[in-house]
Amino acid sequence: MGLSKTSIYSKLEQDEILALKKIEQAGYNSPYNKFRAALETGDNKRYVVDLRTVKYGDIEENQVSVDVIFKTRCTEELQPLIEMQGLQHPPIVEETSIPGKYKQVTGHHRAYTMDMIQGSVPVIVVTKNYNLKGGQVSPDIDLIQGIRSNPRQENRSYSMDDAVLMIQKSLRLNPFQDGKNPRGKLPPRTSDDKFDFDDLMNRLYGPYCFPHKAIRTKIFNRVRTGAVASKLIDIDENEQTSHLARISWDVGLVASGKRKDSPEHFDTSRNCIIIVSDNNGQNFDGRMMNVVMKYHMDNEYKQNLEDNNIKFIDVAGRIYKPPTDKTSLDQKRSLFKKVVQRWNEFFPDANVNLKIRYLALPKQLKVHDDTDKLFDVR
């Protein structure tokens, strides 16, 4: 017989007390001091599980703005402050179904800065959201908590572009807004007795963010006309799998539905390793370096490549934070191709007997003239 929900919550609360004590003993502040909104929203709650130190590359972003990281803020503001005062609030991450992999809840800039400082990131690990009254957790709750956990005046303000992007995401994830928006579409700008755009804004951001009526009207008009996000295809895991299938590459899924890590994603029928990555330097270079290190440090791995005639690497990529015009997107694709070619030039010097063969990039704009791309980079 399984545990009741009451028993589960009681166990989570007891574990949280121990985790919060561990965080305090390590010299950090409780996440409830400053980031309660990331843990508690209405009837929904996450529980603190542990304090851990992880690799930056093991944290998946939770995008709540158009620009995820402002690197100048990290180098010119956060890094000197942390080096002088120490890290006060470790980033908060959520456990995923993949051991050792985490999803960012809040603290993108602190995570990036700690990686710059010490090559690893102390994180507060929390659970998924639970609805304490036994109801359904809102499909866009992670979005709301990510937005609400960015304190105004202390962190950078959200732009109108950010608001447009998040509203579009919220309506895609939760079109009926937990039953408040019965049409499942963008609500009217104003209404005396029905869920309107101000109600939608307040649900996501609260009443004190973008309080000016004219600014909210501008955001409404941009959402209505499809600005910012409507031109972009969200290349999530499902879309990445679809892209691999379209080009007849091994999709690399295991029984759980998760994708194999890059060094272990083989396509034996095509004699290659498949690297799935975006063009973000840390992501792509990190995956390539993992292959190089495994090639030299794991003799069984290297022997397995030779025994199975694995001679190539094929890269299934995407453009990170793609622009919405095709000319700029194609320029980023060309730059990505050059980065891949430089790795090909590096391999002989690194004594790696592999060659990158193809760079495959998916259609990322919802326009007819943008299509899948396949570059031969040999």
Please report the pLDDT score of residue 153 as a whole number: 43
Of 125 and 146, the one with more pLDDT: 125
State yes or no: pLDDT of 73 exceeds 80. Answer: no
> CATH 3.90.1530.10 in the chain, residues?
5-148
Query: Which architecture, in CATH terms, is 5-148?
Result: Alpha-Beta Complex (3.90)
State yes or no: pLDDT of 171 exceeds 70. Answer: yes
Please report the pLDDT score of residue 230 as a whole number: 46
- Closest to 250 in 3D by CA, of 279, 278, 273, 284: 273
Of 154 and 39, the one with more pLDDT: 39
Which residues, at least 6 apart from 218, have a Cβ–Cβ distance to it below 8 Å? Answer: 160
Q: 141-148 and 160-173 are packed helices; what angle lies between their axes, rounded to 10 degrees?
A: 160
- What is the C-alpha to C-alpha distance for residues 247 and 133, in angstroms, rounded to an integer? 46
Segments in 4-140 forming alpha helices (H): 5-25, 31-34, 71-73, 79-85, 108-118
Please report the pLDDT score of residue 67 as a whole number: 47
Please report the pLDDT score of residue 62 as a whole number: 64
> Could you read off the pLDDT of 319-336 as tens digits, one per residue?
988 887 788 889 999 999
Please report the pLDDT score of residue 211 as a whole number: 86
State yes or no: pLDDT of 296 exceeds 60. Answer: yes
State yes or no: pLDDT of 37 exceeds 70. Answer: yes
Amino acid (one-letter) located at 57: G
State yes or no: pLDDT of 90 exceeds 90. Answer: yes
Average pLDDT score, the chain: 87
Confidence of residue 70 (pLDDT cuts 50, 70, 90): low
**Least reliable range by pLDDT among 139-153, 157-171, 205-219, 275-289:** 139-153
Per-residue pLDDT, averaged over 280-284, amounts to 83
CB 148 within 8 A of CB 37: yes
SS3 at position 365: strand
Confidence of residue 96 (pLDDT cuts 50, 70, 90): confident
- Closest to 204 in 3D by CA, of 222, 219, 194, 193: 219
Which residues, at least 6 apart from 320, have a Cβ–Cβ distance to it below 8 Å? Answer: 278, 279, 280, 283
Of 145 and 218, the one with more pLDDT: 218
DSSP string, 130-177: EETTS-PPPTTHHHHHHHHTS-TTTSPPPPHHHHHHHHHHHHHH-TTG
